[in-house]
Amino acid sequence: MAFVREALNRLNREYVAPGKGATLQALKAFLDPIDTKNLPSYEEAAAQLKVSVASVTVKTLICSLRKEYTAFVREATSCTVSNSADVDSQIHQLWEALIAAPGWIVPRIRSGTSGQKL
């Protein structure tokens, strides 16, 4: 979980320093790989940032933010393994832990399956 916090802290530093803090705040919800039902629409995000959706500006900003976030998580993870080939495995385990962690992310349950996890 510390990797995620560190990645978010680093994104915050990267965005706030050059005056792009409002961009990060408007788009931070798009970093959650699990809770996609509570995302603002692209139109809402574009309106908040006063940019266009039609020109793919918001989508480009979201894509860039996700790439930076992923790079920061990967970098933090690579410092904890002795073999660089283990980074992907560690990241996969991290996301599994986030999904399963009580209070972080509620497990998604398929309706009508007696509580089986997806």
Q: What is the pLDDT of residues 72-118, one digit of tens each?
A: 988 888 888 888 888 888 888 877 877 776 555 433 333 333 333 33
As a whole number of angstroms, the distance between CA 66 and CA 84 comes to: 21
Q: Which residue has the higher pLDDT, 112 or 43?
A: 43
Is residue 66 within 8 Å of 31, Cβ to Cβ? yes
User: In this predicted structure, what is the pLDDT of residue 101?
Assistant: 66
Whether pLDDT at 50 is above 70: yes
Query: What is the H or E stretch that residue 88 is in?
Result: helix 87-100
Domain-wise residue ranges, the chain: 2-100
